[in-house]
């Protein structure tokens, strides 16, 4: 049985999308780490706000990955 060309492209696009979202998740982890290091070295009024925002960014990236898994 010969696979359908459209299904091959569709599956490969889904795989590349999930790989890209995985890279985005790794980026979000790096952002959290960098904000933590910055907060330890630079004392400012907005450090807690930045730290909370970085964790929201990480949570958002996880939610986007889960949404993509369920929808794709």
How does pLDDT run along the chain (72 residues), one tens digit per residue? 667 877 888 999 999 999 999 999 999 999 999 999 999 999 889 999 999 999 999 999 999 999 999 998
11-16 contacts, C-beta under 8 A, 24 or more apart: 14/72
Give domain status of residue 5, yes or no: no
Q: Domain tally for the chain? A: 1
54: number of Cβ within 10 Å: 21
Mention every residue, 6+ apart, whose C-beta is less than 8 A from residue 53.
none
Flag whether 11 is in a domain.
no
| Cα-trace Rg, the chain | 18
Domain span including residue 27: 21-71
């Amino acid at each position: 049985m010969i696979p359908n060309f459209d299904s091959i492209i569709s599956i490969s696009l889904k795989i590349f999308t999930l790989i890209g979202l995985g890279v985005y998740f790794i980026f979000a982890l790096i952002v959290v780490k960098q904000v933590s290091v910055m907060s330890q070295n630079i004392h400012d009024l907005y450090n807690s706000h930045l730290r909370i925002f970085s964790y929201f960014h990480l949570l958002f990236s996880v939610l986007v990955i889960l949404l993509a898994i369920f929808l794709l």
